[in-house]
Amino acid sequence: MEALFATTTGILAASGLYLSLRGRTFPVVVGLTLLSYAVNLFLFSTGGLTTDGAAVINDSGGYTDPLPQALVLTAIVIGFAMTAFSVILAMRVRGDVGSDHVNGNRIDEPREDKS
């Protein structure tokens, strides 16, 4: 199970990174989101992969590690804020620069109607 989990994290990280290295804003945003999923899963797994545990105090015990969970919970929300910020930055850049290339290059693209 651990090997499976690790492989999945690796594949997600690789896909996310590949997208982050693309030249257009949208794939980069998607890539960063994907990368943050991979990172969240990775961080979460540092507490171990517990089946049928919980981080709620009860009489029977069998706890999972609550600390990575607390970290990842905030990371998920921050990740959303980051995604939102970068995608709207991308929209703004397209509006102001006229290109959705991450380097701000004006590469000829089929001009769409501008409202």
Partner 1 sequence: MSLLLIVLLPLLGSLLPLLSSNHRRHQCALLTAAMPLVALLIALREAPGVLAGDVPRLAFSWVPALGLDLALRLDGLSLMFVLLILGIGLLIILYARHYLSTADSMPRFYAFLMLFMTAMLGIVMADNLILLWMFWELTSLSSFLLIGFWNHQSGARKGARMALAVTGMGGLALLAGLILIGQIVGTFDMQTVLDSRDVILDDPRYLPALLLILLGAFTKSAQFPFQFWLPQAMAAPTPVSAFLHSATMVKAGVFLLARLHPALAGSQEWLYLVSLTGLVTMLYGAYFALIKLDLKAILAYSTVSHLGLITMLFGLDSRMAVVAGLFHILNHATFKAALFMTAGIVDHECGTRDIRKLKGLWRYMPMTTALAAITAASMAGVPLFNGFLSKEMMLAETLGTSLLGGLAWLIPTLATVGSILAASYSLRYVRNTFFDGKPRELEKTPHEAPFPMRLPILILAIVCVVVGILPALTTTDLLTAAADAALVGAAPELHLSIWHGFNLPLLMSAIALAGGIAVYLLRQHLFTFHRQFPSRHSLTIFEGAVQRLVRFTQWCIDTLENGSLQRYMLWVVISALGVAGMGLMSIDTLQGDVAMQPADPMVTVGAVITCFAGLGTAFLHRRRLISLIMLSVVGLMASLAFARFSAPDLALTQLAVEVVTVILLMLALFFLPQKTPKESSASRIVRDVLFAAGFGGVVASLNYALLTRPLTSISDFFLDNSVPGGGGHNVVNVILVDFRGFDTLGEITVLCIAGIGIYKLLNRLRLFMPSSDSEGRPWSPDRYPMILASVSQTLLPMALLVSVFIFLRGHNAPGGGFIAGLVTAVALILMYIAHGVEWAQQRLSFQYQPIAVSGVAIATLTGLGSWVFGYPFLTSAFGHFHIPLIGDVELATAMLFDLGVYLTVVGATLMILANLGKVTTPHRPSKQKEKA
Task: Please report, as residue ranges, which positions from 59 to 98 form the binding site for partner 1 (by CB under 8 A).
Answer: 63-67, 69-70, 72-74, 76-85, 87-92, 94-96
Is 106 one of the binding residues for partner 1 (CB under 8 A)? Answer: no
Separation CA 41–CA 67 (nearest Å): 14
The token pair that represents 29 in the structure block: 């945003």
Q: Which residues in 24-43 contact partner 1 (CB under 8 A)?
A: 24-31, 33-34, 37-38, 40-42
The pair phi, psi for residue 96, each rounded to 5°, is -85, -40
Is 14 one of the binding residues for partner 1 (CB under 8 A)? Answer: yes
Is 17 one of the binding residues for partner 1 (CB under 8 A)? Answer: yes
Beta bridge partners of 54: 63
